[in-house]
Amino acid sequence: MITTDICIIGAGPVGLFSVFEAGLLKMRCHLVDVLPQIGGQLSEIYPKKPIYDIPGFPEIKAEELIENLYQQILPFKPTFSLGERVDKLSRTEDGGFLLTTSDQTEIKAKVIVIAGGLGCFEPRKPELQRLEHFEGKGVVYMVKDPEKFRGKKLIIAGGGDSALDWSIYLTEIAEQVTLVHRNESFRGAPDSTEKVFDLAKAGRLNLLLNSNLHALNGNGVLKSVDIMNKQGELKKVEADYMIPLFGLSPKLGPISEWGLNIDKNAIEVNTFDYSTNVPGIFAIGDINTYPGKLKLILCGFHEAALMAQSAFKFVYPNQKLSFKYTTVNGVNAF
Amino acid sequence: MIIFDVVDRAGNLQKVEVPEEINLNLMEVLKASEYPILATCGGMALCATCQVEVAQGLENLPSPTDVELDMLDQLPKATPQSRLACQIKINENLNGAVFHLAAE
Ligand SMILES: Cc1cc2nc3c(=O)[nH]c(=O)nc-3n(C[C@H](O)[C@H](O)[C@H](O)COP(=O)(O)OP(=O)(O)OC[C@H]3O[C@@H](n4cnc5c(N)ncnc54)[C@H](O)[C@@H]3O)c2cc1C
Ligand code: FES
């Protein structure tokens, strides 16, 4: 069980900056994100793109902004659960909250800050009958622990860099790797592409180009996958695991089940302090909505600052808050 | 006027008319016409939430650029008719085309 003052759901730029604003008011934070890395959309969708509307930075690459935010919050010793989705949120008897993640991690907090952006990043899924039936029973969307695939027969589907990179890596571990791709060439990094073709030539990788996943077979657990080529010919490939790697895309996810007022996939908030209809739960950044809302990083930062003022009353109900500039006291690390 | 057909996710077909000199892409027009397209990346070919299937008139469109192909190539449900609406400029090439919004 992790115990903290504030649990922040989402480690995008707005979740990260909240740690700083909370830290100035002596509140400790734990962050949870379903992605294995911090940074939200900036890390997942556009790490190398320059951003031009961050105050004080005429131009900054998305990944650099995230690194800077990380450095900025380090004095406040945030803790993280990455690669885990927050599934459940319930109240505790002392008026706080208990969160449970997809890995059954439990987090107890006095305040919840939802900085969930456009929602949980989830894998794009192929269109296959009975796909759900095989999820967790042979179909996996993420390689968390490569050792799980030792000596197994794998099918990897996809044409992007992650499909190429994992295919190369897993040929060392698995008994057999089949890579299925719709087109006849790859647009990923030239090095990886060359490596994949070399492995295929050497007979160490079963490369099926111009082919699509067609059907999943097995009684309870995955046994084999039917793969169809452009000519319409079917091939049955035995498999213990199939790993579709078609990138990630955000979906609102479990946030919709927590009793919050939601309008068009966003949480309604009071602009006084970005509180939701549930006392003690705040929503900031892309995930919230209010008249005039703009989905911009700088707006999320502002929301984080106001949120922290109100969150203080839940964490230190008997203390009075006096507003101070950082120039007065500096940053007092924990 | 440029006139083309849009078929939404429920299968309803509607004619969309756009003035010729408009400087927009198809994603922007679809959004402005209140079609439920997220366009998370704002038109940078990075999110694929604006994916459409071109049922008619594909041959009149300029071929996809590298950025568009990079994205399409990664998607599970793309076909040879798939395009990203944000990469399609509105001009007279679109007259008579039929676009289906791809499933979310
Ligand atoms: C291509 C592109 C270009 C952009 N350019 C600009 C720009 O120039 N300037 C600008 O200001 N903005 C820009 N934006 C918008 C900006 O990226 C967003 O406003 C910003 O990312 C919002 O930050 P956030 O922290 O609210 O959410 P996000 O960055 O979306 O992060 C939210 C995180 O929460 C996680 N999450 C959600 N639900 C759960 C859950 N239940 N459990 C665990 N984790 C969860 C998600 O996985 C995600 O990582 C751009 C966006 C894109 C896509
Ligand atoms: S709007 Fe994101 S790919 Fe078109």
Task: Please give the Cα distance from A144 to A209 (Å, whole number).
Answer: 26
Q: Are A2-122+249-329 and A125-246 in the same CATH fold? A: yes
ipTM: 0.86
Task: Please give the Cα distance from A16 to A312 (Å, whole number).
Answer: 17
Cβ contact, residue pair A246, B47, below 8 Å: no
B2-101 CATH fold: Ubiquitin-like (UB roll) (3.10.20)
Q: Where are chain B's structural domains?
A: 2-101
Split at pLDDT 50, 70, 90, the class of A329 is confident
Q: Which residues of A303-315 are buried (b: 16+ CB within 10 A; e: fewer)?
A: bbbbbbebbbbbb
Q: What is the pLDDT of residue B104?
A: 78
pLDDT digit string, tens, across residues A103-127: 999 999 999 999 999 999 999 999 9
Architecture of domain A125-246 in this structure: 3-Layer(bba) Sandwich (3.50)
Measured in Å, residue A265 CA sits from the centre of ligand 2 at: 18
Q: What is the pLDDT of residue B29?
A: 97
Is residue A35 in contact with ligand 1, taking CB distance under 6 Å?
A: yes
Which residues in B lie closer than 8 A to residue A247 (C-beta atoms)? 48, 74-75
Nearest-neighbour CA in chain B from A118: distance (Å): 8
Which residues in A lie closer than 8 A to residue B66 (C-beta atoms)? 187
Q: What is the pLDDT of residue A137?
A: 95
Q: What is the pLDDT of residue B98?
A: 97
Q: Where are chain A's structural domains?
A: 2-122+249-329, 125-246
Q: What is the pLDDT of residue A142?
A: 87
Does residue A326 carry a pLDDT above 90?
A: yes
Q: Give mean pLDDT, residues A317-327.
A: 93
Q: What is the pLDDT of residue A188?
A: 83
A2-122+249-329 CATH fold: FAD/NAD(P)-binding domain (3.50.50)
Q: What is the pLDDT of residue A72?
A: 98
Q: Give the range among A150-159, A271-280, A312-321, A323-332 with minimum mean pLDDT.
A: A323-332
